[in-house]
Structure 1
Amino acid sequence: MSHVVVIGAGQAGSSLVGKLRAEGFEGRITLVGAETAPPYQRPPLSKAYLLGQMDKERLFLRPQAWYGEHGIDLRLGATATGLDLAAREVTLSDGETLGYDRLALCTGAHPRRLPAEVGGDLAGVYTMRDLADADALAPELVEGRRLLVVGGGYIGLEAAAVAAKRGLKVTVIEQAARILARVAAPETATYFRDLHASHGVEIREGCGLDRLLGEDRVTGARLSDGTEIACDFAIVGVGVAPGTALAEPAGLAIENGIRCDIHCRTSDENVWAAGDCASLLWGDMRIRLESVGNAIDMAETAALNIIGRGVEYRPRPWFWSDQYDVKLQIAGLNAGWDAVHVRPGETPAQASHWYYRGDKLIAVDAMNDSRAYMVGKRLIEGGKSPDPAHATDPATELKSLLK
């Protein structure tokens, strides 16, 4: 009976083993996770969970007992430290060696940290990625305290929103010329800059970090313009790196993550990858999609191919972010856009931004406008591109764009 080993017990790993069983795979399954908690949702960590609006048990994707009931050997608190492709063996941190017939790498991504020489090792400096991060950060969120957020991407802005809602004084610094520079158009950046300003958050753009200040614990920061600001703690949100620490030394091909083909197979015929650690082809580009939707869909496709179905993975990118009372929903992938058209909403808090490359619709950012998101998503997935002047005219009924 064949043995499938899955390294990484996050959204992708849990989805993959669930799909294997749902499709009738009767062999052995071992799911290895470095954390002590069973697989859980990550998006609420920087939102509802950090605000105290969601209990820890509600984060879990499945009750822990489910894995045993479905014949899945769930190894928690175990780190995979070595991979021998020729022998088909994975070594764990406790010294145990697991043999496999098929292996799936769902090792996620890890937050980039500030180097020690700029104060990244001081107490009171946090990242926001996993449950331990959220639990460590929660006691710091006390009304009246001062938070410095380094990085104006979605993670940094979500953390800033939570802190501001808790009554903290928040400063966000962004080295680039504007927030969300890598992931959104200026129009979306302006929307969220204004939103944060309305909640008292100070955003400094074009202003990098020289170093964090303090002896043992962070007490402030010196910025690239020479100014100094005080803070009680800091959150660093400067991006993530794909989890390739197991794959790369083993000799798997790496290209912006673990390189996968259209079937989610790596450069080794017995190894698949899925989720934030995996890079895939999107047209003529090789990309990584850091999203829950991709983690689930790619993992389930990998599971089908592990049991020989030969299914091609065709990603349908979608993302979201919650900040204050605004839900941002993103359909498509905006890489390579050359024009953005704004569709006003029915209220000042509503808007949607439609990204075009030439005359092709490639993405939609929808703020508090689920109809614009759903229509945009269906248009993009269907390969349809309405005239932008028509699509963004508030007099145009959104559903009519689908005809």
Structure 2
Amino acid sequence: MDGMHRTFVIIGGGLAGAKAAQTLREEGFGGRVILIGDEHEQPYERPPLSKGYLAGRAAKESVFVHEPSWYATHHVELHLGQQAVHIDREEREVRLGDGARVPYDALLLATGAEPHRLQIPGARGVAGVHHLRRLAHADHLRAVLADRTRQGEPLVIAGAGWIGLEVAAAARELGSPVVVVEPSPTPLHGVLGPELGEVFTGLHQEHGVEFRFGRRLASISGRDGQVAGVVTDDGEEIPARAVLAAIGVRPRTALAGAAGLKLAEDTGGVAVDASLRTSDPHIWAAGDIAAFPAPDGGRLRVEHWANALNSGPAAARAMLGQEVTYDRVPYFFSDQYDAGLEYSGWAPHGSYDRVVYRGEVGKRAFIAFWLSAEGRVLAGLNMNVWDVTGPIQELIRSGRPVDAAALADPATDLGSL
């Protein structure tokens, strides 16, 4: 077996880290594989936390990346509930919170991201202010939503991004009223622009979600140590059974920064090359923290499931000395009520010239394409239309101008454009 006397260490117990460990074994690496995670749970996937698991439709066992016995069977050493506190690059070892020192020949950082906290009066003084990043967070929030003693009081969600909308859908499925407070004029405004934002507004309003656009939370009030309500910045008082802060995340780069690794100032995260190698030749980064080269010459950092799924294995192969170029088209998926969707590419508000539709937007069975002024496809979203991700990503990769009329015509095969 290859590398029998080498030790590869992975810091991060999420999907990227678990898939990296799996890939090392699949590729024939015979040395030690050590995975360090600061949670006590075995590595799990995060998308179900705001979807099926939160709504009670998915069992806990379904969120884990591998069967519990997989790690022992494949000789992957788990250090769970352990915080990696220091990387000694000269000695090539990781120091843990309990003082243990773990040597490495190659190191993968897959430390993920952490949610932004609400910085408003009352946010830290009462129970019932939630974030959703970890399995324990989902358990706590689900228990609150299932509490029938406060059934008429809404869950107030700060932020109408993907997490906010998915939780809103799960909460409505559980019978809880929902009020979403969002400073932009539509949901997902910075990601999808106003055109698609209106589609999501209608979807959620049909299911009873109330929106407060153009507003922010100003304070949180409590009663008997529990959240009782919120006040928006225009003075509206809204009763609340709980508050969810869904205002984005930041990459967990403190460990890398303290070790002197180069960070990406423009996107955040750890700067890596096309093989996901950091500024240290013995250290790689994957998942939410990896800021990898983008086609336009800048850097791209992606905080979605597919990036963790694909970059972990890519980094593992690079650690083994294989030729790796990580240039995946960004991709994510979402499920909200009866709407399933996939999004490929990257076209934030202000970066595109127009949106072209194929299908019936009113019936929420369509594809939306974001085009540049030259007619290049920058991104595509398919809602309740399936098996089109491949052609959409090929159009994005090609960078060639596309006839908008043909793009909108359902009779034209996307693969022919």
TM range (shorter): over 0.9
**Are positions 1:38 and 2:42 aligned together?**
yes
Map 1:162-311 to 2 at 5 A: 162-214=170-222, 216-255=225-264, 256-283=268-295, 284-311=297-324
> Secondary structure of 1:276's partner?
helix
Residue pair 2:120, 2:218 contacting (<8 A) in 1 also: no
Moved more, 351-360 or 209-218: 209-218
Q: SS state of the match for residue 67, structure 1? A: helix
Structure 2 equivalent of residue 8 of structure 1 = 12
Aligned residues: 401
**Cα distance in 2 between the residues matched to 1:140 and 1:206:** 27
- Classify the secondary structure of the residue corresponding to 1:182: helix
Q: CA RMSD in A?
A: 1.7
Distance (Å, rounded) in 1 between the aligned partners of 2:315 and 2:377: 29
Match of 2:101 in 1: 97
- SS in structure 2 of the partner of residue 156 of structure 1: helix
Q: Secondary structure at the match of 2:191?
A: coil
The residue number in structure 2 matching 1:329 is 342
What SS does structure 2 have at the residue aligned with 1:145? Answer: coil
| Aligned 8 A contact 2:153 2:239 in 1 | no
Of 280-289 and 320-329, the range deviating more from structure 2: 280-289
Q: Deviations over 1:143-177 (max 9, x none)?
A: 43311000010100111111112111110000123
Q: Secondary structure at the match of 2:53?
A: coil
Partner of 1:351: 366
- The AA in structure 2 aligned to 1:364 is G
Paired amino acid for 1:258: V
Letter in 2 for 1:353: A
CA distance in 2, matches of 1:121, 1:346: 44
Contact 2:271 / 2:290 at 8 angstroms: preserved in 1? yes
Q: Percent identity?
A: 38
Q: Corresponding residue for 1:366?
A: 382
CA distance in 2 between counterparts of 1:151 and 1:97 reads: 41
Contact 1:379 1:402 survives alignment (8 Å): no
Q: Secondary structure at the match of 1:16?
A: helix
Q: Structure 2 CA distance, aligned partners of 1:374 and 1:326?
A: 20
Matches within 5 A, 1:26-105: 26-105=30-109
Deviations 1:241-273 (A, max 9, x none): 001121111111111101111110111111000
Deviation of residue 275 (structure 1)? 0.3
Going from structure 1 to structure 2, the CA distance change for 1:247 and 1:290 (only over 3 Å counts) comes to same
Asked if the contact 1:118–1:210 (Cα under 8 Å) also holds between the matched residues in 2, the reply is no
Per-residue CA deviation, residues 70-126 of structure 1 (Å, 9 max, x unaligned), is 111111111111111111111111111111111100000111111364524521010
Distance in 2 (alpha carbons) for counterparts of 1:116 and 1:226: 14
Q: Structure 2 residue aligned with 1:379, among 395, 399, 411?
A: 395
Gapped regions of structure 1 (runs ≥ 5): none
The residue aligned with 1:123 is: 127
- The TM-score, its normalising length taken from structure 1, stands at 0.95
Please tell me whether the aligned partners of residues 188 and 365 of structure 1 are also in contact (alpha carbons under 8 angstroms).
Answer: no
Letter in 1 for 2:38: A
Aligned-partner Cα distance in 2 for 1:346–1:180: 17
Q: Secondary structure at the match of 2:254?
A: coil
Letter in 2 for 1:291: H
**Aligned residue in 2 for 1:402:** 416
- The letter for the 2-side match of 1:354 is F
CA distance in 2, matches of 1:400, 1:291: 25
Secondary structure of the residue aligned to 1:164 is helix
Q: Aligned equivalents of 1:86 and 1:265: distance in 2? A: 17
Match status 1:341 vs 2:349: no
Q: Structure 1 residue 392 and structure 2 residue 392: aligned? A: no
Which residue identity is paired with 1:377? Answer: Q
Task: Name the CA shift for 1:133/1:172 in 2 (closer, same or farther; >3 Å).
Answer: same
Report the 3-state secondary structure (helix = DSSP H, G, I; strand = E; otherwise coil) of the residue aligned with 1:330: strand
Distance between the aligned counterparts of 2:19 and 2:43, measured in 1?
Answer: 10
Q: Select between 363-372 and 220-229 the one with higher mean Cα deviation.
A: 363-372
Structure 2, unaligned stretches of length 5 or more? none
Cα deviations across residues 297-336 of structure 1 (Å, max 9, x unaligned)?
2111111111111312112211111111101210122242
* 3-state SS of 1:73 partner: strand
- Aligned partners of 2:27 and 2:414: how far apart in 1? 39
Structure 1 residues 93 and 375: alpha-carbon distance in aligned structure 2, compared to 1, 3 A threshold: same
* 1:175 and 1:209 in contact (8 A); partners too: no
Query: Quick one: distance in 1 between partners of 2:125 and 2:91?
Result: 39
Preserved contact between residue 84 and residue 96 of structure 2 (Cα < 8 Å) = yes
Amino acid at match of 1:402: S
